[in-house]
Amino acid sequence: MSTEPMTVEAASAEPRASVRAFLPGFAWQGVDSRPYKQDASAPFCGILRQVLFDEPPLQCELRYFEIEPGGYSTLERHQHTHAVMILRGHGRCLLANEVHALATFDLVTIPAWTWHQFRAAGGEPLGFLCMVNRMRDRPQLPSQSDLAALRAFPAVAAFLAG
Ligand code: MN
């Protein structure tokens, strides 16, 4: 007679009711701080990632990224959408062919196939929440001709030069 316990998959499908405290230094109880990307194939500088929510019923994840002063995320684009809220600090982002200043609590929508990159201002980390689909495609990096097309916009060229 089979008395197998529920599989890990089934047991984890519905989240457990919980409250996880906010901790000093922009951390949360029970949440690991990990490198931004597991592979070092894409250029980025000084970023940590914390996955705050990863619940199958929601079909999305909410992550907290923190870029150290002067650091930057990978310049990339992909089919999936990002919804971002700045939680800490200031910086700038490249969005398509525009550069935008970012301040705490600003909201950034990154549609499908839109080039994007975040840069932290000097002096303080840039921290932001990023909501994303759980199932998503791999980011695409710019080719030399993509970069040339982006640099045709002077503000973008200045942003990419750092
Ligand atoms: Mn992205």
- The enclosing domain of 89 has a CATH number of 2.60.120.10
Q: Residue with structure tokens 């840069």?
A: 119
Residue 104 lies in a domain: yes
Residues 83-88, mean pLDDT to the nearest whole number: 98
Condensed to tens digits (0 to 9), the pLDDT of residues 41-63 reads 777 788 999 999 999 999 999 99
Query: Which entry of 45, 60, 93, 130 is annotated as an active-site residue?
Result: 130
Residue 124 lies in a domain: yes
Residue 109 lies in a domain: yes
Q: What is the pTM of this model?
A: 0.88
130 is annotated as an active-site residue? yes
Residue 88 lies in a domain: yes
Residue 32 exposed, middle or buried by CB count within 10 Å (0-12, 13-18, 19+): exposed
Residue 92 lies in a domain: yes
Q: How many structural domains compose the chain?
A: 1
Give percent helix, percent strand, percent coil of the chain, each to the nearest 5.
15, 40, 45
Per the structure block, which two tokens stand in for 58? 């929601």
Domain that holds residue 77: 31-160
What is the whole-number distance in angstroms between the Cα of residue 8 and the centre of ligand 1? 29
What is the whole-number distance in angstroms between the Cα of residue 11 and the centre of ligand 1? 30
Quote the radius of gyration of the chain (alpha carbons, Å): 18
Residues 124-133, mean pLDDT to the nearest whole number: 97
Residue 40 lies in a domain: yes
What is the whole-number distance in angstroms between the Cα of residue 126 and the centre of ligand 1? 16
